[in-house]
Chains A and B, each alone.
Chain A
Amino acid sequence: QKEVEQNSGPLSVPEGAIASLNCTYSDRGSQSFFWYRQYSGKSPELIMFIYSNGDKEDGRFTAQLNKASQYVSLLIRDSQPSDSATYLCALLRGSSNTGKLIFGQGTTLQVKP
């Protein structure tokens, strides 16, 4: 079983809709989770990070974490064509002082005008 699993997609949504991206993980002890957006040919850029169970909102983005069920999701409201990219879920194995990020394979999102 992979440590971090994402559906590779593509996930296709119409402009203005809510895009829901999901990620499951196997290590129940994982504490810190990150969502990165990666445009084709570019490096990943941080979208959100979440450490506590529940929801965390930042503009059109909401990260949701459920440690009991071992999943983390990213919701994008009012999706725009510019949101079309690959979204990478990552968790920190260990702590910032000693640990390392483990990435899923990414989900490709296509927002159709």
Chain B
Amino acid sequence: DGGITQSPKYLFRKEGQNVTLSCEQNLNHDAMYWYRQDPGQGLRLIYYSQIVNDFQKGDIAEGYSVSREKKESFPLTVTSAQKNPTAFYLCASTTTRTGIDQPQHFGDGTRLSIL
């Protein structure tokens, strides 16, 4: 089945540790996105990528890094510089080839907590 796969579902980070969240899609989508959701809040954009080997900062990029080496994959690293990493992290993707704005579809998310 086509879809967006995020792993792991739950992740715990120790003080000073970098952790990487995986996002893979087999929808042949060009654009991929990472969002953060805090309890009772909407989604905030961390990073996004429209094409392979290119990505842009979103509204809250500090303390995070990404790469886009393959069309299917857009991993997010939460670095030790991110002092408040506890949140629900959501990956999304969409196509950009139709000429009209297409909705984004989401993976199941990763919950990150500090140990």
**A96→B94 contact, CB < 8 A:** yes
Residues 2-44 of B, flagged 1 when their CB comes within 8 A of A and 0 if not, give: 0000000000000000000000000000010101000011111
Residue of B with least CB distance to A106:
B42
**B108→A100 contact, CB < 8 A:** no
The smallest beta-carbon distance between B83 and chain A, in angstroms, is 23
Chain A CB within 8 A of B107 CB: yes
**B101→A51 contact, CB < 8 A:** yes
Q: Which of chain A's residues 30-45 have a Cβ closer than 8 Å to chain B?
A: 31-32, 34, 42-45
Please measure, in the bound complex, the distance between the C-alpha atom of A58 and the C-alpha atom of B92, giving whole angstroms. Answer: 23
Please name all residues of chain B whose beta carbon is closer than 8 Å to the beta carbon of A8 when the two chains form the complex: 40
**A46→B103 contact, CB < 8 A:** yes
Please name all residues of chain B whose beta carbon is closer than 8 Å to the beta carbon of A32 when the two chains form the complex: 101
Chain A CB within 8 A of B90 CB: yes
Q: How large is the interface on B (under 10, 10 to 19, 20 to 34, 35 or more residues)?
A: 20 to 34
**A100→B33 contact, CB < 8 A:** yes
Q: How large is the interface on A (under 10, 10 to 19, 20 to 34, 35 or more residues)?
A: 20 to 34
Chain B CB within 8 A of A97 CB: yes
Interface centre among A99, A101, A103 (most CB of B within 10 A): A101
Please name all residues of chain A whose beta carbon is closer than 8 Å to the beta carbon of B50 when the two chains form the complex: 97-98
- Beyond A46-B105, A97-B50, list 9 extra A-B contacts (CB 8 Å): A8-B40, A88-B42, A96-B100, A100-B45, A101-B43, A101-B104, A105-B41, A106-B41, A106-B42
Q: Which 7 A-B pairs have the closest CB atoms?
A: A103-B42, A32-B101, A43-B106, A105-B42, A103-B43, A96-B101, A43-B109
Q: List 13 A-B contacts (CB under 8 A).
A: A31-B101, A34-B104, A42-B109, A46-B103, A88-B42, A88-B43, A96-B95, A97-B50, A99-B101, A103-B44, A104-B42, A106-B41, A106-B42
A contact set with B: CB distance below 8 Å = 4, 8, 31-32, 34, 42-46, 49, 51, 88, 90, 92, 95-106
